[in-house]
């Protein structure tokens, strides 16, 4: 009876302590440092577990266990992750890729195109915890969670880095109304991109243009890295060369998968219709791209006229001056004369009102050949 009494007293002290610990438990987090890793042997893939419940001894470095395997080695191995310092609750370790099997001792057999998987069991968690995530399985005594990454050039959609607010802009960064664009007009496809994760994520912002026959007219992309919680506005440019109806499909990936771009390869994409109309301002276009001194000097202003579809360019003094010089150049060349860079025409034959043979010199102003100078 004496021993039984002591046993009951010990139980009385232990049980309250156990229940109090579960009330303050947290849910662990498991992730790879990157969404994808190079496939060559010797690559280090870092995996991190954050589990403050496993910080059992604040004065020493604790450790946890994870299971790691790949498509090429479904058995994998069990490895130790050590705490990053005293009292951090963050555990980290490196998996090193190997071209040969079996895996073990920190080396994982993985080749290009493999998916690598890490699994961790959280045995201290809130009793009312519920998860709808596919990579987390909750049972009575543990939460089993997994994290994946890719090996090599194949990339997945970004995790928690959505693209939004798609816009088509002109060269002045102004939105184009109703996605109606002119032939030979340079446009820019822009979206808002935000990294909602507390880690670096590589990204590829890809825009594919298809015509009415679903043929790819253009495929361009922009790649980079998003730092933790970073927001950016990536964009790519395109110039349509013929009128018609087009579809711009915007993809967001972890890396570029080229040339195999199709909707079934992506989970995060959006489609946008574009109407390309023939621009009837051929007279302005001719002046914009002319190789006269006037058009060269006023090139920026002329391009702005071209981009501004509502501008009354025919009454613009810059356009009028450059149009006049271009017309003079065309008349000069049509007469088999020589046009000079200074806006003058060197005559190579007799012309009405002139005299003599050989080279004559004259100037065109408002379409009139001035008196020649010997």
Instruction: Mark whether 271 and 218 lie in a shared domain.
Output: yes
Whether residue 348 lies inside any domain: the answer is yes
Q: Give the full edge-to-edge strand order of the sheet including 269-277.
A: 180-182, 269-277, 244-253, 201-210, 216-226
Task: Find the CATH number of the domain harbouring 50.
Answer: 2.60.40
Highest mean pLDDT among 14-18, 32-36, 83-87, 133-137: 83-87
- Among 124, 151, 178, the domain boundary falls at 151
Whether residue 116 lies inside any domain: the answer is yes
Q: What is the pLDDT of residues 9-55, one digit of tens each?
A: 333 333 333 333 445 778 888 889 887 788 788 889 999 999 988 98
pLDDT recorded at residue 174: 82
Sign of the C-alpha dihedral computed for residues 167, 192, 30 and 150 taken in this order: positive
Tell me the residue range of the domain where 236 lies.
163-277
The Cα 265–Cα 291 span in angstroms is: 46
- Would you say 325 and 331 are in contact if contact means Cβ atoms under 8 Å apart? no
The pTM of this model reads: 0.39
Whether residue 232 lies inside any domain: the answer is yes
- Among 244, 277, 310, the domain boundary falls at 277
Average pLDDT over residues 187-199: 80
Between residues 131 and 182, which one has the greater pLDDT?
Answer: 182
Between residues 120 and 271, which one has the greater pLDDT?
Answer: 120
Whether residue 11 lies inside any domain: the answer is no
Instruction: Mark whether 130 and 183 lie in a shared domain.
Output: no
């Amino acid at each position: 009876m004496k021993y039984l009494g002591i046993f009951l007293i010990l139980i009385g002290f232990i049980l309250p302590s156990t229940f109090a610990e579960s009330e303050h438990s947290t849910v662990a987090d498991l992730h790879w440092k990157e969404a994808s890793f190079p496939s060559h042997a010797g690559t280090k893939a870092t995996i991190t577990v954050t589990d403050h419940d496993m910080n059992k001894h604040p004065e020493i470095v604790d450790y946890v266990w994870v299971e790691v395997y790949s498509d090429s080695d479904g058995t994998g191995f069990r490895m130790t992750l050590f705490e990053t310092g005293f009292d951090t609750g963050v555990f980290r370790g490196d998996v090193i890729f190997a071209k040969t099997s079996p895996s073990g001792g920190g080396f994982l057999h993985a080749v290009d195109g493999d998916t690598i998987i890490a699994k961790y069991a959280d045995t201290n968690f809130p009793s009312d915890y519920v998860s709808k995530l596919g990579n987390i399985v909750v049972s009575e005594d543990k939460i089993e969670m997994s994290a994946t990454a890719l090996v090599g050039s194949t990339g997945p959609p970004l995790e928690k880095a959505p693209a939004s607010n798609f816009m088509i802009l002109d060269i002045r960064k102004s939105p184009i109304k109703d996605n109606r664009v002119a032939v030979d007009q340079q446009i820019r496809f822009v979206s808002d991109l935000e990294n909602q994760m507390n880690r670096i994520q590589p990204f590829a912002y890809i825009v594919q243009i298809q015509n009415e026959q679903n043929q790819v007219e253009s495929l361009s992309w922009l790649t980079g890295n998003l730092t933790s919680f970073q927001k950016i506005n990536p964009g790519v440019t395109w110039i349509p060369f013929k009128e018609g109806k087009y579809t711009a499909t915007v993809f967001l990936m972890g890396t570029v998968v080229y040339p195999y771009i199709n909707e079934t390869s992506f989970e995060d994409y959006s489609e946008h219709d574009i109407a390309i109309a023939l621009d009837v301002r051929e007279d302005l276009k001719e002046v914009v791209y002319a190789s006269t001194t006037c058009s060269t000097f006023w090139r920026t202003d002329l391009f702005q006229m071209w981009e501004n579809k509502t501008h009354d360019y025919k009454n613009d003094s810059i356009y009028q001056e450059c149009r006049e010089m271009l017309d003079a150049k065309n008349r000069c060349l049509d007469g088999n004369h020589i046009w000079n860079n200074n806006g003058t025409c060197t005559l190579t034959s007799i012309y009405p009102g002139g005299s003599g043979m050989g080279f004559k010199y004259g100037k065109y102003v408002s379409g009139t050949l001035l008196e020649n100078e010997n």
